[in-house]
Amino acid sequence: MERKDLFDEATFDEIVARIQQLTAASTPEWGQMSVAQMLAHAAEVQDVMNGKPLKGTPFLFRLIGPLIKRLVVDKKPYKRNLRTHPQYEMTDSEDFETQKDRLIDSIRSYRALGKSELKHPIFGRLSAEERGWAAYKHLNHHLSQFGV
40/52 Cα distance (integer angstroms):
14
Q: What is the DSSP letter of 146?
A: T
3-state SS string for 52-63: CCCCCCCHHHHH
Mean pLDDT of 83-100: 75
The answer to whether residue 2 scores a pLDDT higher than 60 is yes
* This prediction's pTM: 0.85
pLDDT in tens, 134-146: 999 999 999 999 9
C-alpha torsion angle, residues 50, 16, 138, 47 (rounded to 10): 20
Count of residues making up the chain? 148
- How much helix, strand and coil, in percent to the nearest 5, is found in the chain? 55, 5, 40
Span 50-75, average pLDDT: 79
Each residue of 99-123: pLDDT tens digit? 999 999 999 999 998 887 778 877 8
CB 123 within 8 A of CB 133: no
